[in-house]
Amino acid sequence: LTCKAGADGAWRQALPPVAASTVAFSLTFASSNSSAERAELHNVLFGDVYLCSGQSNMEFAMPAEANASAEIAAADAYPHIRIFSVGHRTSSATPLRDLQTVWEPWQVASRATIAKDFTPHSHLFATFSAVCWHF
């Protein structure tokens, strides 16, 4: 597939329909102008994407869950789920080219990734939503 960047340097490439996958893909992007301009994405799955959003109750963290140890341990059974969390300072009435804040980059769901706590004094509210996990 090929595409051309606009005057602002941005480009978009529509992908053909791809069936949901459990086998990860790698995507490579390269400039036709320079062999040094190259980027790769690894461990990419295709399938449904669910977005969770809301107010502060959406930040109820896994460590604060009533059955936290069992829920956290069970996460390793779902290697085909990817998680991602946008930070509080990303807000816009118009589409953005880039997010203003990212708390959690795209990553595989696991006991390590769903139980992270980046708050300095509390485990009740963290970056990954227990509410979303139960969805």
CA distances from 71 to 10, 57, 108, 109, 125 (A): 41, 18, 16, 12, 16
Query: What is the signed CA dihedral for 77, 83, 87, 93, rounded to 10 degrees?
Result: -140
Q: Residues 21-52: pLDDT tens digits?
A: 999 999 998 888 777 788 899 999 999 888 88
Q: Residues 126-135: pLDDT tens digits?
A: 567 777 777 6
Partners of 61 in beta bridges: 129
Q: Residues 108-127: pLDDT tens digits?
A: 989 888 887 655 555 555 56
Residue type, 112: A
pLDDT at 54 over 80: no
pTM reported for the whole predicted model = 0.73
